[in-house]
Amino acid sequence: MTTAPNKSTGGLLSDALAHVSSLVRSEVDLARAEVNENLKTAGMAIGFIVGALVVALTALNVLSAALVAALTEVGIAAGWSALIVGVIFALIAYAMLNKGTNDLKLSSLAPSRTAKNVKRDAQAVKEVYDDK
């Protein structure tokens, strides 16, 4: 912005509006980029959830019978062996599901950097107008 002493009020207002418009466009672009980045993170979180389901199903189908048989060989009754194995796999699946859902919380998807920048910019504009 030029600081010519003879610049009219209209010219100053026009310059100020141009700067505000540019600032708003920059903030919108930043918000868009941040939301895209957060959506990629959400995609990864959904991948963790899908992965958890696949691992849980595969583990239950393949290893359950082997572990139940092994526990039965050790001397534990077949029913108790099946219960122990089922609880172990359920805990693993719960841990993976919990990780995926925690990564999907809305607070992690919000454009927090953009909000911080907008607050900072609004404060700067307020300070400029308060000084005049």
Q: Where are the domains of the chain?
A: 29-111
pLDDT at 131 over 70: no
Condensed to tens digits (0 to 9), the pLDDT of residues 21-71 reads 888 888 888 888 888 888 898 999 999 999 999 988 887 788 788 988 999
pLDDT at 122 over 80: no
Condensed to tens digits (0 to 9), the pLDDT of residues 73-113 reads 999 999 999 999 889 889 988 998 999 888 887 666 667 77
Residue 81: exposure state from Cβ atoms within 10 A (0-12, 13-18, ≥19): buried
pLDDT at 9: 80
